[in-house]
Chain A
């Protein structure tokens, strides 16, 4: 095929075997028009056009479906919450420490968007005086088959200064997360879950808050903004209301625990592995459970 312009008698140099390749393609010849081939071509073009149209339709449908917040809400017939005697509930609190020399917070370069005027400091490992912030603490085991009412108040996630506030949140399955954009630039919110539904929506400045829910338990579910690649935060979806996130002083508090034996899990987005600590609380107990993470 490639030999269309090859001369009939090429100046062959070097070796010359008995017979050279015999079956070379023939020179250019425009074939007589074959009506069947024309039909096939037309059908192929139509097929491609139809496929493109279907794909566009699918894309449009997907876009319309995406904002539906009710898609992941648990069934309305969720079992009634197991009653807890408020007179006997206990409180667990404590401090999470960072073991070792505190890492310097990485700097963020926000220059690619003039609308971003943030603090320019990453929040992946935040240590203040040895205290570790943004550790998610929750009751991993010990609640048995208890069920809990889903709070009606939403958990608010704000995008301000091209960073997420707060950096780590806890939310119950089915509880609304209200996402606001207080920046003069467009963000997109893109959770990348393992067990929940993935979605990706843009949110222009001054637009109404997005309201989303997560149907399944998932710890340290990453959320990112593809427009501003430094913007990352984590959502922790649990079935009970017994969770907390450490503040900048590394402190947390879990209130309203019914008496029992529990396993608390402390999880950090970067510092591994998560730590499980067993605790027993009696009626009206106030227990202190501290944890520490080693630097990587």
Chain B
């Protein structure tokens, strides 16, 4: 939970770097102005970039602690793998962050850095869910899902369209793509997420573990649409000729990124809870001979 919260803070810090156009204010990596430990004067763009690096270092340390702790204390094998997976992801993320500085913010690398940040956030959230007391101790209430497409399929589709939207948004923010693919895809995302949330709320409203993330996801979709519209106005419409990043643009775009991360995490949590509480039911296809009781 601590790692998930810290990662959320890290995403905000990273978004502040991009929105303030401060990505290259510290021109070297892995050192900062030639030093691995000295804190430079935190003024101008350095304030955003170096703060982001310091928060990232702490996130890396927390992930190491988590991976080692999971490896030693966790009995579930897949949880131990998830812990190492988190460590691998945070290392890859650090390398991507370094590469984007060394190669002067190429859009594909910067976008990959942005997308992997939210992937790592989802991993941290998932670990928090799986190690939470409720998950470990609860006796899950299960209702099998016979509808097609199943709610679980819808949650996976939601995660997929959100991830595509994340990449499109990151490419736009890092000047690799125009704004319109992100805006057009927002319609698809809204439709899929609304469909998923409405299905979850109408069919499984009696299961709290499903209802809660569904409500959160639906609320975040509405908030994200409003924030996206504001970000579009402040950046694309009003901010086109601005001589420097202006506060309304910075606030709206950073909030848009942060809520986007929460939205992706809520979709992942919903998928996990649906998998647990509303699994897909299917007819077992047995050979006719085995199906006929008289043959036994």
Contact = CB atoms under 8 A, between A and B. Distances in A.
A226 B45 contact: yes
A192 B77 CA distance: 49
Nearest to B139: A7
Contacts of A20: 144, 279, 281
Interface in B43-89: 43-47, 49, 75-78, 84, 88
A24 B24 CA distance: 49
B136 interface: yes
B24 A30 contact: no
B33 A202 contact: yes
B29 A108 contact: no
Contacts of B138: 5
Nearest to A202: B27
A7 B140 contact: yes
Interface in B175-204: none
Given A18-B284, A55-B98, A62-B102, A109 B78 contact: no
Interface stretch (B114-122, B212-220, B222-230, B240-248): B240-248
A10 interface: yes
Interface stretch (B15-23, B156-164, B255-263): B15-23
Contact of A113 (B44, B49, B78, B143): B44
A17 B76 contact: no
B77 A31 contact: yes
B139 A11 contact: yes
A129 interface: no
A13 B277 CA distance: 10
B282 A17 contact: yes
B275 to A, nearest CB: 6
Interface of B: 20-31, 33-34, 40-41, 43-47, 49, 75-78, 84, 88, 91, 95, 98-99, 102, 104, 130, 135-144, 146, 206, 241-245, 272, 275-276, 279-284
A200 B27 contact: yes
B76 A10 contact: no
A16 interface: yes
Interface in A264-294: none
A70 interface: no
Nearest to A16: B144
Contacts of A185: 41, 43-44
Nearest to A200: B27
Contact of A227 (B25, B77, B146, B243): B25
Interface in A39-87: 41, 48, 51-52, 55-56, 58-59, 62-63
Contact of B95 (A52, A106, A122): A52
B22 A59 contact: no
Contacts of A15: 143-144, 146, 281
A144 interface: no
A59 B88 contact: no
Interface string A1-12: 111111100111
B28 A3 contact: no
A112 B242 contact: no
B88 A48 contact: yes
Contact of B22 (A5, A10, A106, A226): A226
Given A11-B141, A108-B244, A113-B43, 20 more contacts: A4-B76, A5-B136, A6-B276, A13-B206, A15-B281, A17-B146, A20-B279, A28-B76, A30-B75, A55-B98, A59-B29, A63-B34, A108-B243, A114-B43, A188-B27, A190-B27, A202-B27, A226-B22, A226-B23, A226-B49
Contact of A229 (B21, B26, B91, B141): B21
B32 to A, nearest CB: 10
Q: Which 7 A-B pairs have the closest CB atoms?
A: A19-B284, A227-B44, A14-B143, A17-B281, A230-B244, A122-B243, A226-B25
Contacts of B44: 112-113, 116, 185, 227-228
A222 B191 CA distance: 42
Given A7-B139, A11-B139, A28 B281 contact: no
Contact of B45 (A1, A10, A55, A229): A229
B30 A59 contact: yes
A52 B91 contact: yes
A10 B24 contact: no
Contacts of A63: 28, 31, 34
Interface in A221-241: 226-230, 232
A115 interface: yes
B25 A59 contact: no
Contacts of A201: 27
A124 interface: yes
A176 interface: no
B283 A3 contact: no
28 contacts: A2-B130, A3-B276, A10-B139, A10-B142, A12-B143, A13-B142, A16-B281, A19-B284, A20-B144, A21-B279, A21-B282, A59-B98, A62-B102, A63-B28, A106-B241, A106-B242, A106-B243, A112-B43, A113-B43, A124-B243, A185-B43, A188-B27, A200-B27, A226-B21, A226-B22, A226-B27, A227-B43, A228-B44
